[in-house]
Amino acid sequence: MLRRRPHDRTRPAQERLTHEGITVINTFSDREIFLIQRASPIDGIVSDYVPLHRTDDGHLAGPCPFQPKDSTHEIKVLPQRGLWICFGCVDGGDVIGFIRKRHNLTYVQAAERLLRELDDVR
23-70 pLDDT, tens digit per residue, is 555 678 888 889 999 999 999 999 999 999 999 998 999 999 998 888
Cβ burial 16-54 (10 Å sphere, 16+ → b, else e): beeeeeeeeeeebeeeebeebbeebebbebbeebeebee
* Helices of type H across the chain: 30-39, 42-46, 95-103, 107-121
pTM above 0.85, yes or no: no
| Exposure of 77 in the CB half-sphere (CA atoms within 13 A) | 24
Superfamily of domain 3-121 in CATH is Zinc finger, CHC2-typedomain (3.90.580.10)
What residues does each domain of the chain span?
A: 3-121
- For the chain, the C-alpha Rg in angstroms (whole number) is 16
Measured distance CA(99)–CA(42) in Å, rounded: 10
Nearest to 36 by CA among 111, 117, 109, 121: 111
